[in-house]
Structure 1
Amino acid sequence: MNNQPLNGTDAPRGCPVAHGDGGDLMRLYGPEAAIDPHGIYARLRKEHGTVAPVLLDGDIPAWLVLGYRENRRVLDNPRQFSRDSRIWRDWNDGRIEATSPLIPMLGWRPDCVSQDGEPHRRLRGAVTDGLQTVAGRGIRRHVTHFANKQIDAFAEAGSADLVSDYAEYLPMLVLTRLFGLPAAEGRNLAVSCAKLIKGEDAVAHNDRIMEILADLASRKRDEPGADFTTGLLGHHADLDEDEILSHLRLVLITAHTTTSNLLARVLQLILTEASRLAGLVSGQLSVSTVVEEVMWNTPPLAVLPGRFATTDLELGGQHLKEGDLLVLGLTAGNLDPEIRPDAGVSLQGNQSHLAFSGGPHECPGQNIGQAIIETAVDVLLHRLPGLRLAVPADELTSTASTWEARLDALPVEFAAQPT
């Protein structure tokens, strides 16, 4: 394969560039996208409707699905919109370098996310069985243990940043226990996962994650335990070496990045809306209700990679060609004015959001993520009386990558606690 970088001015027939109006396409990466992704979604919707041509890292063309109904159509129809990137025309034509930061997110692997039909069902069954097993083995106890250890590190100070001191690493510490990894690996893995999602030296960080997981799988063959890794190794679906490592990678990266981002957003909502905090402290409001609200308004993955058109077809008034890449705007879809003309109306009890994807590839570990977040919030509120935001709410900032918008910091104050 001739992996030459794509030249946006010499786009192949049928790619999103060829369907544009002749002007520059909007980029989902770079300084503007990092500051105002919602502004970009709004302008794209105004100009193109519910499906818009965009450029990803390296000016790689794609279709961004902005409409709720269009997202549902793509998610629910794998025969028309496959997750198998081996049909991605730009890759097959050699227009994408193997070192592109898109490859760790979009490249084909022998995992359930990269396949459809019977291969997908076989592999997903192994993952689902493994997650159900570890979810029943005291996950809230693990969260409580690591949450208290995180809080112990700053409780005496009377102040903290709940992003860097709590939400950024807590989910990974829990995952190390569920995977059978040493807790000491947690911080390095969390950093590598974050860098991979941001596209910062993504290939190198992906390689680092795979090295750690390969060592883990080798060790667990000799020293099996009551953990997710051992469960995959011994599952009746008989996964081979590459399949095992690919699924360890998939679950680790997805579970950590989404749960850490969602936990930070839940804490942000609680601390910027006095009624939410008072309701939780008094027991009149449940954490799950707050989580549900966040999943509608700021889902942990703003854009989901990716689907590939299996044939020429029309979506949202746009003419797609076989092999075109689509990325799914989960945030844009959840805020679609066609289904939410008044975004301020409560959606309590409505779980039809896009935050967990949908269709055959819907997230199988959502209950674990919910348990981590609920327990983490409960422990935090119990340990830190007088918890309050240390800066005005409008001073909180976020930085977006192509795939997510992550809270930069959440500075808080509280009554100092001896440990």
Structure 2
Amino acid sequence: MDTHHSPAAAGARCPMHDGTFTADPQQIYDFVRAHGPAGPVELAPGVDATLVVEHEMALRVLQNPSLFARDSRRWKGLNEGRVPLDSPVLAMMAYRPNCLYTDGAVHLRLRQAVTASLDRLNTRRLRRDVEPIADFLIDQFSERGRADLINDYAKMLPALLFNKLFGCPADIGDTLTGALGAFFDGVDVQRANEELTAGLMELVSIKRRRPADDVTSWLIQHPAGLTDEELKDQLIILMGAGFEPLRNLIGHALHLLLSEEGAGGSGMLVEEAIDHILWNNPPIANYATHFPVQDVDLGGLIVEANTPVVISFGGANSDPALKEARESRNKGAHLAWGAGPHACPAKDPALVIAVTAIERLLNALPDLTLGASDDELQWRPGPFQHALVGLPVRFTPTPATRMVSALQTAAPQPAAEQPGVQTGAEPARAGQPAPKRGFWSTLVDLFRV
């Protein structure tokens, strides 16, 4: 075993920020599991938590909101000043008034608005929205004969898609795309959070004046009567929680399909690859932070009230007790989508988006091959995900004509029916310089052709 990447000694907190988890997540899960269904870890310097790696114990926590709360204002270490305020994990753990960090009646009210709005996204609409964005991104690199499928495709597609689904005018869409990327990469998080907040508050203001056929407008119109602040925070969780998991799900599935285990070997189908990833490398590996309302015994480990209990979806899925379910890929057994009152409300849309994005790419570039061995691939740091930095590929160069062809064959829609394209966009103010154009601005122009 590499001593540089070895778990902590028995009785110590297992660090998840020193390269150990990045190098080998399963090593961490096995180390914790050897001492019980849950164990003490350090998510970042000065940020202690309990990691649950047993499937049965994970369900106990996820399905018991009366004992395990999600409201991180309970966090004892943070309230007592023992958690560094500049910690990189605070952006993912600190309280926001949205359905991820609330409990009881407040959570129910916010969640009903979110689920009702997401339910209006049908499969046909999602496919129709994903396909031209996929074509646009493929056109950006198809003539080169090489690409990085994470940064050129899997990262950009969810960001651009959400701009469309949430009805973002071009300038706001560009701001949100950049801010979300910086937010999850831990680069200048404070600035990214400020830009994200300002952009979403402007979007809410626009949609209150000019509602359209998009998720933001549907949230505004819901009988829950969300305030502007509540709307902003529901949008943050919807965009953020969708952006990063989709990036990882698409990227991991593509990696698998292009490897010897996937298309290079057994000819695995896209849906099979996604199921494999959900079981073996879930898009979010460790999260769903809970705070026990009283001291609690987790299989022999006494966890103090109001301290973070983190669910390891990756660890729970690899629980030896699930061997039979894992081998049969029983979709109802894995915890990649969570469980209980806070289970992911966007499971079905996420699957449609991922399958469509992957199929569109593989059909466009059928001779894709990996451009690096597994030993050469790098993984992003951080305790919440085991995600690729990049995925280099090679293929036969092809003309960048897919987007134009798709637009020529698609029936034009009135502007009012194109969420995020022109509806609700504010005119440029006289005398102001034109904003820097990003991917979303360019894609919007193509939709106007």
**TM-score tier after normalising by the smaller chain length:** 0.7 to 0.9
- Between the aligned partners of 1:373 and 1:186, the Cα distance in structure 2 is 21
2:329 aligned residue: 348
- Between the aligned partners of 1:194 and 1:24, the Cα distance in structure 2 is 34
- Say if 2:238 is the partner of 1:251: yes
- Residue type of the partner of 2:286? V
2:428 aligned residue: none
- Between the aligned partners of 1:186 and 1:164, the Cα distance in structure 2 is 18
Displacement of 1:201 in angstroms is: 3.3
- Say if 2:369 is the partner of 1:382: no
2:78 aligned residue: 91
- Between the aligned partners of 1:379 and 1:163, the Cα distance in structure 2 is 15
Q: Which of 30, 33, 43 matches 2:21? A: 33
2:228 aligned residue: 241
1:53 touches 1:62 (CA, 8 Å); kept in 2? yes
Percent identity of the aligned residues? 34
- Say if 2:353 is the partner of 1:366: no
- Say if 2:127 is the partner of 1:140: yes
- Between the aligned partners of 2:234 and 2:283, the Cα distance in structure 1 is 20
1:169 aligned residue: 156
Q: Which of 400, 403, 407 matches 2:384? A: 403
Describe the shift of the 1:23–1:68 C-alpha distance in structure 2 as closer, same or farther (beyond 3 A): closer
- Between the aligned partners of 2:172 and 2:249, the Cα distance in structure 1 is 22
2:285 touches 2:384 (CA, 8 Å); kept in 1? yes
Q: Give 5+ residue unaligned stretches, structure 1.
A: 1-19
- Say if 2:306 is the partner of 1:297: no
- Between the aligned partners of 2:12 and 2:265, the Cα distance in structure 1 is 48
Q: Residue 262 of structure 1: SS of its match in structure 2?
A: helix
Displacement of 1:338 in angstroms is: 2.7
2:270 touches 2:358 (CA, 8 Å); kept in 1? yes
Q: Which of 161, 181, 189 matches 2:176? A: 189
1:303 touches 1:328 (CA, 8 Å); kept in 2? yes
Q: Which of 193, 200, 225 matches 1:206? A: 193
- Say if 2:289 is the partner of 1:306: yes
Displacement of 1:304 in angstroms is: 0.8
Displacement of 1:198 in angstroms is: 4.3
1:106 touches 1:305 (CA, 8 Å); kept in 2? no
Q: Residue 311 of structure 1: SS of its match in structure 2?
A: coil
Q: Residue 42 of structure 1: SS of its match in structure 2?
A: helix
Q: Which of 209, 231, 249 matches 1:222? A: 209
Q: Residue 315 of structure 2: SS of its match in structure 1?
A: helix
Describe the shift of the 1:241–1:390 C-alpha distance in structure 2 as closer, same or farther (beyond 3 A): same
What root-mean-square deviation, in Å, do the aligned CA atoms of Structure 1 and Structure 2 show? 2.3
* Paired positions, count: 393
1:105 touches 1:305 (CA, 8 Å); kept in 2? no
- Residue type of the partner of 2:47? I
Describe the shift of the 1:191–1:351 C-alpha distance in structure 2 as closer, same or farther (beyond 3 A): farther
- Between the aligned partners of 1:349 and 1:42, the Cα distance in structure 2 is 22
Q: Give 5+ residue unaligned stretches, structure 2.
A: 1-7, 401-449
Q: TM-score, normalised on structure 1?
A: 0.87
Deviation by residue 1:148-191 (Cα, 9 ceiling, x = unmatched):
00000111111111111111111111000000113565565344
1:152 aligned residue: 139
Q: Which of 309, 314, 319 matches 1:331? A: 314
Q: TM-score, normalised on structure 2?
A: 0.82
Displacement of 1:24 in angstroms is: 4.5
Q: Residue 373 of structure 1: SS of its match in structure 2?
A: helix
2:12 touches 2:40 (CA, 8 Å); kept in 1? no
- Between the aligned partners of 2:386 and 2:169, the Cα distance in structure 1 is 29
Q: Residue 418 of structure 1: SS of its match in structure 2?
A: coil
- Between the aligned partners of 1:278 and 1:33, the Cα distance in structure 2 is 28
Displacement of 1:34 in angstroms is: 3.0
Describe the shift of the 1:254–1:209 C-alpha distance in structure 2 as closer, same or farther (beyond 3 A): same
Deviation by residue 1:302-333 (Cα, 9 ceiling, x = unmatched):
11140001112211211112112111111111
